[in-house]
Structure 1
Amino acid sequence: MPIRQPDLVTPQHRELYFFALFRVLEAGILGIVAFTPLGQTMADIREPVLLKILTAGYFLGALFLLFTSREPDYGLRRQAAIGLLMDLLIWGAALLAMDGGESGLAMFMVFNIGAAALILTPAASFGFAATAGLILLGEYFFNRIMAHGEARTAAEATMFSVTYLGTALLCQQLRRQISASEALASRRGEELANLSELNELVIRRMRTGVLVVDGSHRIRLSNEAAWALLGSATHQSKDLLEISPDLQKALWDWRQGKFEAPKAMTFFEGGAEVLPRFVALSLTDKLFLIFLDDTRIYSGRAEELTLFTLGRLSASIAHEVRNPLAAISYSTQLLEESKDLKDTDRRLLEIIHSQCTRMNGIVQNILGLARQERSQTESLELVAFTQSFVRDYAESHPLETDVLNATDPGTRVFALVDSQQLHQVLTILVQNALTYGRKPGEPAKVTVSVRREPTNGNPIVEVIDRGPGIPTKVAEQIFTAFFTTSSHGTGLGLYIARQLCEANQSVLTYEPVPGTGSCFRIVMPSSQGLWEGLRPAIA
């Protein structure tokens, strides 16, 4: 029955196991000499009974040590020391029981001493080597005194003794080198494992999707971002063709050397546009790396870069554009006062004045974008503030037939907000409502209302119009910088309004009004200790 190699803890346990296995082989060879007629041809046995007893005991001891070598709890060096001591005692007694074959027995001890030296300490190794040498010298003198057969020479016994010491010394040096190599390998293994875990964590947390694909275009590894971009329904699929035929075709074309610019693709309805990039991980076309970049990240970075550039240019715009623009506008007003102007010239002056006003609004928006100062929050009573805002706006902006009013909920509503920034936000929202929130041929009707959130009591300010509303596709992008559907707009008004709200820990959202109309809602943090409910608002 074959002996199953156990699961060993360290390399030294493995060495001890094979050392014990070799000892069983030695006991078997000694058993052939002691119990079979073949042994008589190998050596003269002076004490056959003693040799048989020694052989039987040695075989049982070797089996016991082979069993215990599988158990790390029994002590590694203790087992090696007990086994080598048993070897020396048995082989020493066997030398006395036999006449001839001494050289073979002595050679066996060379291996045992060397194997034990790989496990034992230097002192123990040299001690056992010296003991083996003394056993040989003792056997030599015993045979000389007792005149048993032809005794070996003293030189032979001495050379074997020196060989034992040299073997112990050599194996000790080898043990040190092996231990150093094992320690280095262990450290390198730990570092490699840590780096592998770190790399896996970094790749898993990357916003860029990563796929590792083999030569047959089957997915071997992936990260969370990749599955999010590919769609949750594809988690169980490992074939790139099943996930996206377009991506599989793009990879195949890239492998064939068709170096076309990668095209953005969408993997499921409503998913983000993804830009794939391909990298070969080996020269044998075994593994390929696919990076899936979300185009929204590039768009966001481009937007940030654009806004940063605008911020740096805002000071130059103020001096280089705004001042000449004011001069043109003032000169136009002076020319309009002339009574000698023809109607066509007066019309041209009106166009110049309106365009100057539009350009001044663009400059104001850009400057407002660049001057996003830190908010100075205060406890503000919103009902009185909105009513005051409506009066001031109506006085500075002729409404003609348009209607702008503020509601009075009958309670005082306080909020923590910067009053100047809130005034700027309401100006943007009301101006947009009066401009775009009207039905064709009808005056605009805009209401600024104040109320509290029923669930948590947060103060809310709403600007509501009764216009045609905003299409769903357009509503998804109205807060994006530079997005506009008007040929006269800049696309910065609502973006600035949302930025100012976020600076005040407020949330600006668009809500469609049932029927027709639009509602822009500002939800602000409340000033719980300062508001009073169910009391008349101060106008």
Structure 2
Amino acid sequence: RVFEAMLLVGISFSPLAGDLVTLVAPQVAKAASLVFLLGAGALFLWEINAAGRWVWPTTIGLGLDIVVGTMALLATAGMDGGIASLLLINLAAGGVLLSLPKAFFFAGIAVGLQYLEHLLSLAWFGTAERSLSEVSLFAVGYLAVTGLSQLLRQEVSQRQQLVEQRESDVESLSQLNDLIIRRMKSGVLVIDAQGRIQRINEAAWSLLGNPSPTRKDLTEISPELWRRMQQWRSSGRGDYTPTALVERGTEVVPRFVAVPQSPHHSAIVFLEDSSLLTRQAEQLTLSSLGRLSASIAHEVRNPLAAISHAAQLLAESDSVAAADLRLLEIIRGQCLRMNAIVENILQLSRREQSKPELVNLRRWVVEFVDEFRTVQPLGGDELRALAPETAINVVFDADQLQQVVWNLAKNALRYGRLPEAPARISVVARRLPETGQAVLEVLDRGPGIAEKLRPHVFDPFFTTNEFGTGLGLYIARQLCEANQATLELVSVAGGGACFRIAFNAQPETLRGDKLPEP
């Protein structure tokens, strides 16, 4: 458009243009060319700063093109065909950029002005340089070019929508991949050939000792991992023995996978926490043993009941010597212990799915302690509830929480006492100051648990009491895990033992439920 305006200005003002064109209305030609030049320059600056909003500049510009072109046709002679042909280019460009109604609206105006210019030439000058058939040919051309431009616009629009859809799909997949990688429990890194970290997820960042985000060189962060990666690149075989990648870090098993067609010869490194793998293997083993134990317990139950019943009848007999009554008491006592083991195993095997609900720990611990005192005589022992003034809402199956804490409190009452001293037990509901996580703790001030026994307290059938079953803490931990919580033995200052339930499920997971009152 700016080029066309400069061309018209040159024709209107240059004396050299007389050989090419005759100005039948010089003042009109000069005014039209100047207006066109100023308008084209203003529209050019507008479109540069429009940042993609080109509909209004295009609309105004096309209208200016048609009006000025018609005036130029009226004011000149000898270039009518050239000027009319220039309008074809402008209408084609407008047809691509504007919608169908606007494009044909301007094409119709151009056609009408063509006929109007022909009539005015006849009326003012008595003759017209172009014949009516030539004007009609250009009119048909304007409409045809506009229609073809609209077809091109639709094709371009469809292709653009397809490209945008593909870009959106790629972006969504990229975000999904990033989310999956971030949420993976396994550490994931992308390392280039020079040992620079290109991508890393939260798990890998933690396993590498939480390095500074500005540190990208794997050779500095973990020389051991870099050594194993170099060994894998050179030999094609990795070293899969567990190792700690940083000082006092968690032992991991690194695995390497080459990135196909990577320009940087990158590799993906998966860091598997060996402790998680060990626990998963233990869970599979315990699950199989649990099913086997349940089958055995079911078969043992009937013979055990027969033995217990026979011992009871024998004890009621008058022919039993007094010295043998002690043996019968041992038989009956061991039968009761075996029956308790059988009941615990069967309970574990047919454990019902948890039914989580909102529990206010502040109120719950007070009610629990009151109920425990009522059911379990304490004598000189002490059991107290400690909770903050504000409510602590957690998600847990209330019946299963009662079962877990009841077992912990009974264990504390049995084992958490010093010689010749009463037991002092606390049931505490609070939030950890470091993370704000809700926890429930059962503490005692007894002799505590020996260091060598601490790793085994949650193992099934592990007990230090000849009359214990060794399943209480194992079942308690299983119930906690079923409610997205963890049960662990933590160290406590001043001696004694502390079993902590850490609640991971958030109250927001129960949408639509009303929070309990504080």
Matched, 1:300 2:274: no
Matched, 1:450 2:397: no
**Higher Rg:** 1
Which residue of 445, 450, 470 maps to 1:470?
A: 450
Q: 1:513 to 1:321 in 2, by over 3 A?
A: farther
Conservation of the 8 A alpha-carbon contact between 2:188 and 2:269: yes
In structure 1, the residue matched to 2:228 is 250
Q: 1:221 to 1:507 in 2, by over 3 A?
A: closer
In the alignment, structure 1 segments of 5+ residues that lack a partner are 1-22, 329-356, 388-407, 438-443, 525-539
Q: 1:250 to 1:513 in 2, by over 3 A?
A: closer
1:59-98 pair list within 5 angstroms: 59-70=37-48, 77-98=55-76
Equivalent position amino acid for 1:496 in 2: Y
1:333-482 pair list within 5 angstroms: 368=344, 371-372=347-348, 379-381=371-373, 385=377, 408=380, 422=407, 426=411, 449-452=423-426, 462=444, 464-465=446-447, 470-471=450-451, 474=452, 477-481=455-459
Cα distance between partner residues in 2 of 1:236 and 1:298:
31
* C-alpha deviation, 1:213, in angstroms: 1.9
Deviations 1:481-502 (A, max 9, x none): 279899x9x9956853864996
Equivalent position amino acid for 1:28 in 2: M
Conservation of the 8 A alpha-carbon contact between 1:210 and 1:222: yes
* C-alpha deviation, 1:175, in angstroms: 2.2
Equivalent position amino acid for 1:283 in 2: Q
Deviations 1:186-228 (A, max 9, x none): 4444444344333323322222212122232211121111111
Q: Percent identity?
A: 28
Matched, 1:212 2:190: yes
Q: 1:294 to 1:121 in 2, by over 3 A?
A: same
Deviations 1:303-324 (A, max 9, x none): 2222221221113333667899
- My pick for the range that moved more, 221-230 or 88-97, is 88-97
- My pick for the range that moved more, 505-514 or 298-307, is 505-514
Cα distance between partner residues in 2 of 1:125 and 1:296:
70
In structure 2, the residue matched to 1:280 is 258
Cα distance between partner residues in 1 of 2:26 and 2:49:
35
Conservation of the 8 A alpha-carbon contact between 2:383 and 2:425: no
* C-alpha deviation, 1:419, in angstroms: 11
In structure 2, the residue matched to 1:310 is 289
Q: 1:476 to 1:222 in 2, by over 3 A?
A: farther
Cα distance between partner residues in 2 of 1:313 and 1:278:
38
Matched, 1:221 2:195: no
Cα distance between partner residues in 2 of 1:98 and 1:161:
19
Equivalent position amino acid for 2:199 in 1: L
Matched, 1:31 2:31: no
Cα distance between partner residues in 2 of 1:54 and 1:463:
101
* C-alpha deviation, 1:168, in angstroms: 0.7
TM-score, scaled to structure 1: 0.65
Deviations 1:298-346 (A, max 9, x none): 1222222222212211133336678999999xxxxxxxxxxxxxxxxxx
In the alignment, structure 2 segments of 5+ residues that lack a partner are 308-332, 355-367, 387-400, 431-439, 502-518
Conservation of the 8 A alpha-carbon contact between 1:450 and 1:462: yes
Q: What value does the CA root-mean-square deviation take over the aligned residues?
A: 5.1
Q: 1:485 to 1:243 in 2, by over 3 A?
A: farther
* C-alpha deviation, 1:271, in angstroms: 1.6
TM-score, scaled to structure 2: 0.67
Secondary structure class of the residue paired with 2:242: coil
Conservation of the 8 A alpha-carbon contact between 2:424 and 2:445: no
Secondary structure class of the residue paired with 1:256: helix
* C-alpha deviation, 1:266, in angstroms: 0.9
Equivalent position amino acid for 2:184 in 1: M
Deviations 1:14-61 (A, max 9, x none): xxxxxxxxx112101112222334423432333334322221111111
Equivalent position amino acid for 2:79 in 1: G
Deviations 1:56-95 (A, max 9, x none): 1111111222233356599854443332222122111212
Q: 1:491 to 1:114 in 2, by over 3 A?
A: farther
Conservation of the 8 A alpha-carbon contact between 1:278 and 1:291: yes
Q: 1:282 to 1:79 in 2, by over 3 A?
A: same
1:131-210 pair list within 5 angstroms: 131-140=109-118, 143=121, 151-210=129-188
Q: 1:508 to 1:84 in 2, by over 3 A?
A: closer
Q: 1:28 to 1:201 in 2, by over 3 A?
A: same
Equivalent position amino acid for 1:449 in 2: A
Equivalent position amino acid for 1:312 in 2: R
Equivalent position amino acid for 2:292 in 1: L
Equivalent position amino acid for 1:379 in 2: E
* C-alpha deviation, 1:383, in angstroms: 11
Equivalent position amino acid for 1:231 in 2: G
Which residue of 231, 239, 247 maps to 2:209?
A: 231
Q: 1:361 to 1:428 in 2, by over 3 A?
A: farther
Equivalent position amino acid for 1:290 in 2: V
Q: 1:446 to 1:257 in 2, by over 3 A?
A: farther
Q: 1:502 to 1:189 in 2, by over 3 A?
A: closer
Q: 1:423 to 1:326 in 2, by over 3 A?
A: farther
Conservation of the 8 A alpha-carbon contact between 2:22 and 2:76: yes
* C-alpha deviation, 1:174, in angstroms: 2.1
Q: 1:154 to 1:498 in 2, by over 3 A?
A: closer
Q: 1:362 to 1:254 in 2, by over 3 A?
A: farther
Cα distance between partner residues in 1 of 2:404 and 2:44:
87
* C-alpha deviation, 1:137, in angstroms: 3.9
Q: 1:131 to 1:235 in 2, by over 3 A?
A: closer
Q: 1:293 to 1:96 in 2, by over 3 A?
A: same
* C-alpha deviation, 1:294, in angstroms: 1.2
Cα distance between partner residues in 2 of 1:491 and 1:281:
53
Cα distance between partner residues in 2 of 1:46 and 1:176:
42
Conservation of the 8 A alpha-carbon contact between 1:428 and 1:497: no
Q: 1:194 to 1:64 in 2, by over 3 A?
A: same
Equivalent position amino acid for 2:280 in 1: R
Deviations 1:230-276 (A, max 9, x none): 11234331011111122112223333352245222212233211112
